[in-house]
Amino acid sequence: MSRTDQLVPPETENPIRRFVQAHPLATFIVLAYMVNWAAVLVLGDPLGSGPFFVAVFVLSMTKGWPGIRALFGQMTRWRVNWKWYAVAVGLPSGAAVLSALATIALGAPRPTSAQIGLWTEIIPFFLFALIVPLLGPWEEPGFRGFALSRLMRERSIFTSGLIVGVVIVFWHMPLFFTGDIPMGDVVLIMAGAVVFAWMVVGTGGSVLLAMIMHATNNAVSGEYISPMFTGTDAEILGWIRAGIWCVFAAAVLLTNPHLMSRPRSEPIPASVAG
């Protein structure tokens, strides 16, 4: 037995650390659910940064500082082709505007001048959501950074993306019961999971671009377009928007058939994937 083995005998190793190392993904999912559901119960709102902090905890137990540093690297990876910025901003903005136009075409009242004039608040909200670790974009380091990378070790990008989508749907479950999120968003989340996975892999693991896409969707669709519609019109808006995201996902799969097979090489930093 080496001197190092004598310094840290297996029987004295922290049992919590040992469990997390044996079940990192399951630990992440359970803790992410517990944190978010507790936040909804106590605060009335989800804690967007919950998955991020849970991922940091799990990485600290499994990979230590190298794993945490790799995750931070994904969150600050901005040197990517300009087209990915166009995708991150353009797809959610386009889906929001097209769904609004389609809903109006189906008979919904036109937004008032005052409602349309609120477009000036889009950028401030986008920046707030992206920078302040409270809202939805901060889910991405956990879901699209940590969870997606581990799943892709043994599964295709497509399958891994869908699994992450299911995890995210159940993470939002309390908000579906309270009516704060329309049921159409279940379809949107699943379709979006394919698009997000494609973008993360295409950018070499950039979680920053995923955060930008999420922040754009929240700012344009959630804070600007959605409040323009109420009642049945809001439900129609939600289903049309979900349908548009399904078209995006189908287009991604048709133009990138390799997403259906297992990646030939690790597209996410190995220190995060583990």
Judged against a pLDDT cut of 50, whether residue 4 lies above it is answered with no
Q: What is the pLDDT of residue 184?
A: 87
Structure tokens at 107: 């008979």
Whole-number CA gyration radius for the chain: 20
- Mean pLDDT over 109-131 rounds to 95
Inter-helix orientation angle 24-43/50-62, to 10°: 150
Closest-CA residue to 54 (of 164, 136, 147, 157): 147
Per the listing, tokens 């009242």 go with 109
Helical residues (DSSP H) of the chain, grouped into ranges: 3-7, 15-22, 24-43, 50-62, 64-75, 82-105, 113-116, 122-131, 140, 148-151, 157-171, 173-178, 184-202, 207-216, 231-255, 270-273
- Mean pLDDT over 88-100 rounds to 97
Between residues 7 and 154, which one has the greater pLDDT? 154
CB atoms within 10 A of CB 19: 13
Judged against a pLDDT cut of 80, whether residue 16 lies above it is answered with yes
CB atoms within 10 A of CB 56: 17
Per-residue pLDDT tens over the stretch 184-234: 899 999 999 999 999 999 999 999 999 999 999 999 999 999 999 999 999
- Mean pLDDT over 77-102 rounds to 97
Judged against a pLDDT cut of 60, whether residue 5 lies above it is answered with no
- Mean pLDDT over 114-129 rounds to 95
Per-residue pLDDT tens over the stretch 39-57: 888 877 788 889 999 999 9
Predicted TM-score (pTM) of the model is 0.90
